[in-house]
Amino acid sequence: MKPVMIITGAGRGIGAATAVMAAQKGYAVAVNYRSDKASADAVVAEIEADGGQALAVQADIANESEIVSLFETVDRELGRVDVLVNNAGIVDQISRVDEMSFSRVDRMMKINVVAPFVCAREAIKRMSTTHGGKGGAIVNVGSAASHLGGASEYVDYAASKGAIDSMTEGLSKEVAGEGITVNTVRPGVVRTTIHASGGNPDKPDVAGDVIPMGRIGEPQEIANAILWLAEAGFTTGALVDVDGGV
C-alpha cells in the first residue's frame, strides 16, 4: 500500500502544490478543503491524470468533529495516515491591534492554532508506536511572520504562527521516542491567493523589492521543503525558513 498523506487546505496554493508533488513521490493524498470543492476536485483530477492516487475530503478544520471525520474518512478510504501537513490557515485585513475585534482574533487562533493541535492529536493517535502505529511525520506550515511580527499589518496572524513554532518545539520532543517527527516550514511571501483574501492582493507584486533574493517564492518551492521534512527521518523540531532571506 502507498504511504498516506493528509494535507489540510490543499485545494489551492502551497497545499495544492504539495499534494501534486507528494503524489508524484508515491503518496496517496487526502486533499482537504472547506468549501471550494471545485478546486480540490481539480487537484485530485491532476493527480489521477498523472497516475497517482488522491481523495478530496471536505472538512472545516475550525470544527473538531469535522477534523475527526476527516481522519476517519481517510482511515476508511486510503488507510492509516503516515504524514500530516498542517497547511490550512487564514490571514485577515491589514489592521493595528487596537482596531482588531475579539471575533477576528478568536477566529485567527481557532483556525491557525487550535485546528493544527487537534489535527496533530488525531495523527498521533494513529502514528504513535504507543498507540500501535508505525511512526510518521507532522509538517506544519508556519510563516516568516512569526519572527518578523507583522507590525501594522497582522500581529494576530504573526502571533498565531509563533504559536506553531512553539508547538513544533514542544511536540517534537514529546513524540520523538514514538517514531514521529514534527517540523515546521516557514514561508515568506509566496505567490498564492492568501494575500487577496486578506485584502492585500498587490503584496506579491511589491514584496520582491524588499526580499534579499529580489523575488517572492513559488508554491512548489515551499512544497519541496515540506516533502523533504516529511521524509527527513533524523530531523525533528526544526523551523525551516523558506523566505528568500528575510
- The per-residue pLDDT for 209 is 84
User: Alpha-carbon torsion 83, 228, 3, 218, what sign?
Assistant: positive
List % helix, strand, coil for the chain (3-state, nearest 5): 50, 15, 35
- Residue 154 falls in the annotated catalytic set: no
- Rounded-to-integer distance, Cα 41 and Cα 90, Å: 21
Residue 137 confidence class, pLDDT cut points 50, 70, 90: very high
Using the predicted structure, report yes or no on whether residue 140 has a pLDDT greater than 90. Answer: yes
Could you tell me the three cell numbers for 162? 509563533
* pLDDT grade for 207, boundaries at 50, 70 and 90: confident
Query: Is pLDDT above 80 for 197?
Result: no
Q: What is the CATH number of domain 4-242?
A: 3.40.50.720
Which pLDDT belongs to residue 134? Answer: 98
Q: Where are the domains of the chain?
A: 4-242
pLDDT of 202 > 80? The answer is: no
The SS3 of residue 138 is strand
pLDDT at position 37 is 98
Cα–Cα distance for residue pair 102/110, rounded to 1 Å: 12
Q: What is the mean pLDDT of residues 81-85?
A: 99
Quick: pLDDT tens for 14-38: 999 999 999 999 999 999 999 999 9
Cell numbers that stand for 184 in this block:
515546521
Tell me the percentage of the chain whose pLDDT exceeds 90: 92
213 alpha-carbon distance from chain centroid: 24
Maximum pairwise Cα distance, the chain: 52
Residue bearing cell 521524509: 231
From 27, 33, 154, 157, active-site residue:
157
CA gap 179, 99 in Å, rounded: 44
Q: How confident is the model at residue 190 (pLDDT cuts 50, 70, 90)?
A: very high
Lowest mean pLDDT among 28-37, 90-99, 205-214, 223-232: 205-214
67: cell is 477534523
Distance CA 29, CA 24 (A): 10
Over residues 66-78, the pLDDT tens digits come to 999 999 999 999 9
Is the alpha carbon torsion for 161, 163, 165, 167 positive or negative?
negative
Could you tell me how many residues make up the chain?
246
Least confident of 86-100, 102-116, 135-149, 206-220: 206-220
Q: How far apart are CA 157 and CA 136, in angstroms?
A: 28
